[in-house]
Amino acid sequence: MTTVAVKPATMAQALTRAMRDAMAADPTVHVLGEDVGTLGGVFRVTDGLAKEFGEDRCTDTPLAEAGILGTAVGMAMYGLRPVVEMQFDAFAYPALEQLISHVSRMRNRTRGRVPLPITVRVPYGGGIGGVEHHSDSSEAYYMATPGLHVLTPATVADAYGMLRQAIASDDPVVFLEPKRLYWSKDTWNPEQPTEVEPVGRAVVRRPGTSATLLTYGPSLPVCLEAAEAARAEGWDLEVLDLRSLVPFDDETVCAAVRRTGRAVVVHESTGFGGPGGEIAARVTERCFHHLEAPVLRVAGFDIPYPPPMLERHHLPGVDRVLDAVARLQWEAEG
């Protein structure tokens, strides 16, 4: 077997490659959105697709998110597999009615006769110095809507593998792309892209024995950094990347928490009504007798997303994660 040079690739490039390969493999895959054609998207994630596959396959639509998703519904009803790009998290809100009232329910309503294999790609989260409406963590809205899968990759390899899975899924998938990781690099071979395990499974990114950090998307690098820093304090932290918020991998999560007996959920989204509340409740319900301390949450504040000059105070950082770990009732143990 010849070895192929493994070059560093960005998450954005892996996502582009995933769409490109999906479009090449399946002529029913169509990309549509604002500026996705000639420009290649404002983050260049659809770069080259219109050129390679033509504007009928990668289409610059009129500027109307409900219209984009609404027409995607009709396209899917006719046998296409639309991949919709929402330009930014906060600009996906006009499409929420279509998403909630139709995309998530059509299969159920029609008893499986009209599945809607639509992928809705949403760049999300902060940390890029964006002005208002460019940094929301909107995952809780999607999680609260039965019928949708909600996926979010945190690594370059997962970005490729999970987007391929999302596009291949016969269910609608909200695919949340952590936009501050778009330019994160990893050694990843685009010629031999790795497939990832079945959709919906969490993965341990760093094994550890003291406590488990449950996280996803943009907060994964923060948690890995925190785990490194924690060694100095004598803690060996495990870091779990959830990858799929819906369906939720209770099995992997609970196995991890039962091993360590302590857990902290870390995400950018607001704490109140955010995903962490659901995750902490599930873990507590299932792992109560293994827990040495309450499951804690490290989240964004319960405020509208702050202006760029203040966002560093809002985003969960290494210190805030370590402070939470410190509160996991270590003294009580001995």
Residues that bind other proteins (CB under 8 A): 30, 56, 61-62, 64, 66-67, 69-80, 94, 97-98, 101-102, 105-115, 146-147, 149, 169-171, 200, 246-251
CA separation (Å) from 85 to 37, 88, 284, 302? 11, 9, 36, 27
Laid out side by side, the sheet with 237-241 consists of 203-206, 237-241, 211-215, 263-270, 296-300
DSSP 5: P
Residue showing tokens 């169509």? 30
Between residues 52 and 251, which has the closer beta carbon with respect to other proteins? 251
Omega before 193 within 30 of 0, i.e. cis: no
In SS3 terms, 243-290 reads as: CEEECCCHHHHHHHHHHHCCEEEEEEEECCCCHHHHHHHHHHHHHHHH
Between residues 56 and 191, which has the closer beta carbon with respect to other proteins? 56
Active site residue 267: no
CA separation (Å) from 28 to 77, 117, 167? 12, 11, 11
Nearest to 218 by CA among 317, 322, 84: 317
- Report the half-sphere exposure of 287 (CA within 13 A, side-chain side): 27
Task: Exactly one of 30, 102, 133, 134 is catalytic; name it.
Answer: 134
Between residues 9 and 253, which has the closer beta carbon with respect to other proteins? 253
User: Which residues are the active-site residues?
Assistant: 134
